[in-house]
Structure 1
Amino acid sequence: MPLAVRLSLFYASLCLFGGVQLPFFPVWLKSKGLGAQEISYIIAATMFLRIVAGPVVAFLADRLGDRRRIVILLSWGSLGAVSLYLVASGFWQILIATLILMSLFPSITPLIETTAMKAAHEQGIDYGRVRLWCSITFIAASSGTGWLLEWQPASIIAVCLVGAIAVNLAGAHLLAREVPQPRLAVHPGGQLRAALAFTRQPLFLIALTAASLIQSTHAVYYAFGTLNWQKLGYSSDVIGVLWGIGVVAEIILFAFSGRVVARVGAVRMMSLGAAAAVFRWTMMAFDPPLWMLFPLQALHAFSYCAAHLGTIHFLTRATPNAFAATAQSLYAALSAGVLMGLMTLAAGSLYLQFGAGAYLLGAGTGVVAFLGTLVIGARWNGGKLAPDAMQDEGTPSGDQGRNGAGC
């Protein structure tokens, strides 16, 4: 089976879970008798675990050099954990099951992103056309679960979550086996010291922060977008269409991303995403009319997708191969964990006071991110920020960021 097909199938299986969990997990929690405060504790715990578990798992995968085996183990563990939902009851049982599940399943994404980008650069796989299947199955899973809930009790959500991860496990076993890469011997602890030394590089930190800030600008939208549109009197059908436009727009960009990134460049894609976020959230802050919401939602292709594509390509080109998964996991932890969590907390109080004006938080954050991308563009020319090979001591031997190809 061609590698591109294997990766496409895995991405498709990966996002089935998100398509069920993101929209409907709170519905299931409520059906189990949990109150709003208890639900918020469980959801907050999932963000915290992304911060801690992801980088640890990714570092181990980089150290072992066999990401496929780690993905399979994570999928098996996730299936066992999610199956606990079928018998769990009460806050503490559900919390424990969720802590186990969310320490395992989200850690898969950085590993598969690393594998896909490695295939893109070494074998010419079109990353965007592989990745778009994730968005397609997300829509299918969310729509299908919503349809089931029209005639099934909320308990069906747990069954759907188990089924989604079972499919993901099958997809994990379809992944191609990795060819072992020759590695220089390092002293005990050398890999960790080398990783820490690399991640402390100023340009890497600026890029990681700017990329994560762009994604965190969506916090108000994710938390209160639907509530604000309901307050404005839009029906559930219209709101569903508005959300769908954003996902369809990102699918289109993913489909043509190979040519777009080649022409625009990784850093400029990040800048484009930040600029789109500034414009999009500034306009949303003033409750624009319905006709204007459609093109604003289409900007999701830039504020999310272009920024994500630029970041993935930057990390792949700038990061030594030995730390590839570690870098991807740090991006996931900072963007979907630390900054998204902080922005969501801030968005709550701002929305209560200012309503749609809370979107200005995202607009201001986008300005800061845009300035960060300008710094990256001025100082990075497309090469590795450190050599692929490590010295015997396990530390990078120098900064080669100026010796690579243009960005």
Structure 2
Amino acid sequence: MVNPAGKADGRPAPAPPALGLRLGGAYAAFFLAMGIQLPYLPLWFQHRGLGPEAIGVALAVPMLVRLVSMPLLGLLSDRLGRPKALLVALALATVGGMGMLALSVDFLAILVTLAFTALAWMPSLSLLDSYASRQARAGRADYGKARQWGSASFLVANLVGGVLIGMLGAGSVVLMMLAGQLAYVLATLALPELPRPERRPAPVTGRRARLGVLSGIVAAALVQASHATLYAFASVSWKAQGYSFTAIGVLWAVGVAAEMALFRFGTRLVVRFGPHALIAVGGITAVVRFAAMASEPPLAVLVLLQLLHAFTFAATFLAMVELVSRSVSEHRSGTGQTAAAWIGSILMSSANVASGPLWAAFGPLAFLVSSAIGLVGALAALLAARLQPHSSGSGG
């Protein structure tokens, strides 16, 4: 009988040469385009003549589209049984979409090309997570160590992208995203294909245990959603406190460096303590972090609070991927990871919508709502742990 890793004697198949580097390269390439898109795409919209209302609609389109495409492509990945091939196909489709976007001028054309691009691009990260977690489950790679290069690449894209856009103008934003996505195509081509896994019963059985898995995913999504006000208004808050753009950039860089460190060593933590415990720690840390931010602390304290990003974001994210990996059969990995990301997208989108009115009404005190969301996430993680009487094996 051939095991999921592809060896007839039951042992894991040997890792292809430099598999860790290939996975790290795939994450790094993916986040090059993301590191340009998140901070700078609104400038490109403005360059194309879109007003504030139109920019808001344009930014909402990918968020809406991914709610449809994520679960569908997760099911497709599992049905095809060739995750690397699907990653390559989606990367090529995204290149085509970004190429069309670069040529789009009027508002309708921009919306259509954005929707097409998002269909392929937005679910790709969850499918890459599924691929990497399967390699980790077989003992051929370390998910956290590969994922850290995505964070590093995102930071580099933020910094270098700002310099290049300052030199080339806002019209270069989509072209830079396209260059990053072309790098991602090459990176996915370098990945080995996974063998089609056997159809096996899910590791988690019983209504109570399945409810525990769902509760754990919701808990992680809540802790992630507690960051919505941070992402939207932290820079605004810090600027109002009188900090320079350089200081603000350093604060964001500290947070990214902290998450990189956690990803690098996080596998040991999740194996030692389990995903539910890490999610709970992330939620409790969010309570402390955001409650402190509501008081507009001095710069030295803000640096310490940004270091907590390692737990509020990275540990929680790593734990959610691990929880899904432990809880679904390998032949349902794509479905499981995209479903978890879908739940996270809904909660984060809702928190994003709420953050604007909250900030307008309460200013920095809106971070107290973030703190409350983190607390609910921590409590949900503890509940999820109580619903899991069994002990799952680690997915690595």
Could you say whether these structures have the same fold, taking a TM-score greater than 0.5 normalized by the shorter chain as the test? Answer: yes
**Structure 2: unaligned runs, 5 residues or longer:** 1-16, 201-205
Instruction: Determine which of 342, 353, 361 is the counterpart of 1:345.
Output: 353
How far the C-alpha of 1:117 sits from its partner, in A, is: 1.1
SS at the partner of 2:167?
A: coil
The 8 Å contact of residues 246 and 299 in structure 1, kept in 2 or not, is answered as yes
Match of 1:84 in 2: 100
Instruction: Determine which of 74, 80, 88 is the counterpart of 1:64.
Output: 80
CA distance in 2, matches of 1:77, 1:200: 38
How far the C-alpha of 1:200 sits from its partner, in A, is: 11
CA distance in 2, matches of 1:75, 1:199: 38
The 8 Å contact of residues 65 and 119 in structure 2, kept in 1 or not, is answered as yes
- 319-328 vs 209-218, which moves further: 319-328
How far the C-alpha of 1:145 sits from its partner, in A, is: 0.9
* 1:369 maps to 2:377: yes
Instruction: Determine which of 18, 29, 43 is the counterpart of 2:59.
Output: 43
CA RMSD of aligned residues (A): 2.2
The 8 Å contact of residues 49 and 99 in structure 1, kept in 2 or not, is answered as yes
Instruction: Determine which of 206, 218, 221 is the counterpart of 1:212.
Output: 221
The 8 Å contact of residues 9 and 171 in structure 1, kept in 2 or not, is answered as yes
Match of 2:234 in 1: 225
Deviations 1:244-296 (CA, angstroms, capped at 9, x unpaired): 00000001111112222222222111111111111111111111111110000
CA distance in 2, matches of 1:4, 1:135: 16
* 1:271 maps to 2:280: yes
SS at the partner of 1:179?
A: coil
Relative to structure 1, the CA distance from residue 315 to residue 183 in structure 2 (aligned partners, 3 Å threshold; closer, same or farther) is: closer
SS at the partner of 1:370?
A: helix
Match of 1:17 in 2: 33
What is the TM-score normalised by the length of structure 2? 0.91
How far the C-alpha of 1:5 sits from its partner, in A, is: 1.8
CA distance in 2, matches of 1:61, 1:8: 21
SS at the partner of 2:122?
A: helix
SS at the partner of 1:39?
A: helix
The 8 Å contact of residues 48 and 338 in structure 1, kept in 2 or not, is answered as no
Relative to structure 1, the CA distance from residue 8 to residue 180 in structure 2 (aligned partners, 3 Å threshold; closer, same or farther) is: same
CA distance in 1, matches of 2:283, 2:199: 37
Letter in 2 for 1:236: F
* 1:310 maps to 2:326: no
The 8 Å contact of residues 6 and 176 in structure 1, kept in 2 or not, is answered as no
The 8 Å contact of residues 347 and 361 in structure 1, kept in 2 or not, is answered as no
Deviations 1:20-45 (CA, angstroms, capped at 9, x unpaired): 00110111111111111111111111
What is the TM-score normalised by the length of structure 1? 0.88
* 1:95 maps to 2:111: yes
5 Å-filtered alignment, 1:136-147, equals 136-147=152-163
Letter in 1 for 2:350: L
* 1:176 maps to 2:185: no
5 Å-filtered alignment, 1:315-334, equals 315-334=324-343
How far the C-alpha of 1:160 sits from its partner, in A, is: 0.1
Match of 1:294 in 2: 303
CA distance in 2, matches of 1:199, 1:65: 29
Hey, which bits of structure 1, 4+ residues long, moved more than 6 A?
A: 197-200
